[in-house]
Amino acid sequence: MHRVIGLKVDVDTFYGMKYGVPKISSILDDYNLKATFFIPMGKDRTGRTVKRVFTRRGFLAKARRIGVLKTYGIKNLLFGLILPGPYIAEKNLEVLIGISKKHEIGIHGYDHVFWHDKIRRMNYGETKRELEMAILKYKKLMGHEPRSFASPGWVTNVHALKILKEKNFLYSSDVRGHYPFYPVMEGESIPLIQIPTTLPTLDEVIGLHGNDHYTLLKYYERLLTDSINVMTIHAEIEGKNWSDFLKVFIEKTLSMGYEFKALIEIADGVMGENLPSAKISFGHIEGRAGEVCIQKFDSVS
Q: Domains (ranges, CATH) in the chain?
A: 4-295 (3.20.20.370)
How many CB atoms lie under 10 A from the CB of residue 30?
11
Residue 288 contacts residue 207 (beta carbons within 8 Å): no
Q: Could you tell me the CA-to-CA distances from 48 to 111, 114, 152, 299 in Å, in that order?
A: 11, 9, 14, 37
For the stretch 243-261, pLDDT in tens is: 999 999 999 999 999 999 9
Cα gap 96→17, rounded to integer Å: 8
Higher pLDDT, 231 or 300: 231
Confidence of residue 264 (pLDDT cuts 50, 70, 90): very high
pTM confidence score: 0.91
Give pLDDT tens digits for 60-81.
Answer: 455 555 666 566 666 666 666 7
Helices 124-142 and 158-166: crossing angle, nearest 10°? 40
**Are the CB atoms for 47 and 77 separated by under 8 Å?**
yes
215-228 as b/e: b if 16+ CB within 10 A: ebbeebeeebeeeb
| Mean pLDDT calculated for residue range 135-153 | 98
Please give the mean pLDDT across all residues of the chain: 91
